[in-house]
Amino acid sequence: MTEKITVAGVRVDTRHWIGGERVASTETFTDVSPIDGSAIGEIARGGPAEAGRAVAAAKAAFPAWAATSRAERARILHGIADGVETRIEELAIVETTDNGALLRSHRRGVMPRVAHNFRFFADWLLKLEHEDFETRGHTNHVSWDPAGPSVLITPWNAPLMLATWKVAPALAAGNTVILKPAEWSPLTASLLADIAAEAGLPAGVLNIVQGYGSEIGDALTSHPDVRRISFTGSVPTAKRIAASAAANLTPLSLELGGKSPLLVFADADLDLAVDLAVEQYDNAGQVCLAATRFLVEESIAEELTRRFVDKAIRLRQGDPRDEATDIGPNIHPRQLEKIDGFVQRAIEAGARAVVGGHRKDGQFYAPTLLADVAQDSEIVQEEVFGPVLTLQTFATEEEAVRLANDTRFGLAATVATGDPERAERVTARLVAGTVWVNCFFVRDLQAPFGGSRHSGVGREGGTWSFDFYCDVKNTVTAPNGWKNHG
């Protein structure tokens, strides 16, 4: 296999990164750009052998990394952030080529956020503490002990940002890592290996293996030497991972899909509500947090729909490398087929396409809004993960909350209202890990993040991340226990 390929002028190694060195596989898979369907290159396709080698490398490196001082770990993480910042343009163009997301977003938001992920957890590590407390004169001291090798399995919709969202806290906690990026967008993970090595991260502390989940993922999640598993992706895959991890009782963090609502009340700022609604087409609808179900109070539904359509039809779809483009392609022909299947089945069942409802040339799907949908229909209940939204109306606050909570998911929710008392009442009753009021996608790494119901297990962010990646210990010391000392 070719060991390195050139992507938009950037050299990318196509091999795994295990134990501080590049490792080839006898098999490969083809990485394809969603922009034009062209083959980018052949990528090392790992299996059980590579999985075992990566876990062994992580296990061997763990004792020294766990014993490394907090200050030194933080220094290296800041060094990785420095490396990311010097290569933002390269990372941005490679990821846009690989997954089709907007280049302007990668340059201005996504890749700077990658660097921030490392800086935030490096800094949080240095202030991580719990105040000692007493129990009948005994002193309780809480500490966070590194857990061990951690398997991180990450998605394709924001590959590097979501990978480092896990990698950074795991490394800060003192764990060693085996990262398995999505096979549809593996390239920036390979560049991360180079950046981490240049920053002085010891060999074996970060390992990156590529391939299909059914071939290498199962070998990783069932390995008895793995101490933590964190996964972002679909519910069916999460169930397989959980079953695989069960034999070893390996702790899991699962951030899964969503079918989030956007509740718009008649007292809302309609211009703001329309902006929030159209924003759900970001990244071609490939955002787990997207509020894909519009729940609109009956009295304003017609006006809101008119304003929404006027704005939605002006969105520009095209080459994500063009600064003027608003929506790029969907990631893969298989994903496009899945999106269209959802839409066509909904239309056959009686839904009406207010806008869109069809494929376009290449791997593009027209921004779509479907009305006349039943609450128990597939299109309302299941995650599409594309630029497809549904519209339903409600008459009362009670009905709005009931519709919002009536799916198996609970990742996020957005509320548009001009009444702070209503906002307080409604948000208290919504089943969701994150609720936004008159805003969307405002994320702070010190806040807990995760989903309820089938949207996930656990919370990450701030101290919650360290609680997951560490074994949290309480040491209780008796008073006057040092009589024989010295």
Residues in contact with 160: Cβ distance below 8 Å, sequence separation at least 6, in sequence order: 91, 95, 110, 111, 114, 188, 189, 192
Rounded CA gap, 340 and 338, in Å?
6
How many residues does this entry show for the chain? 486
Set 255, 297, 383, 460: catalytic member? 255
Rounded CA gap, 179 and 309, in Å?
41
Rounded CA gap, 20 and 288, in Å?
33
φ, ψ of residue 26 in degrees (nearest 5): -75, -25
180, 20, 160: which is closest to 90 by C-alpha? 160
Distances in whole angstroms, Cα of residue 421 to Cα of each of 164, 399, 424, 425: 38, 17, 5, 6
Query: What are 146's strand-pairing partners?
Result: 470
Distances in whole angstroms, Cα of residue 305 to Cα of each of 4, 98, 363, 392: 50, 35, 27, 11
User: Tell me, what DSSP letter sits at residue 390?
Assistant: E
| Catalytic residue status for 255 | yes
| Residues with catalytic function | 255
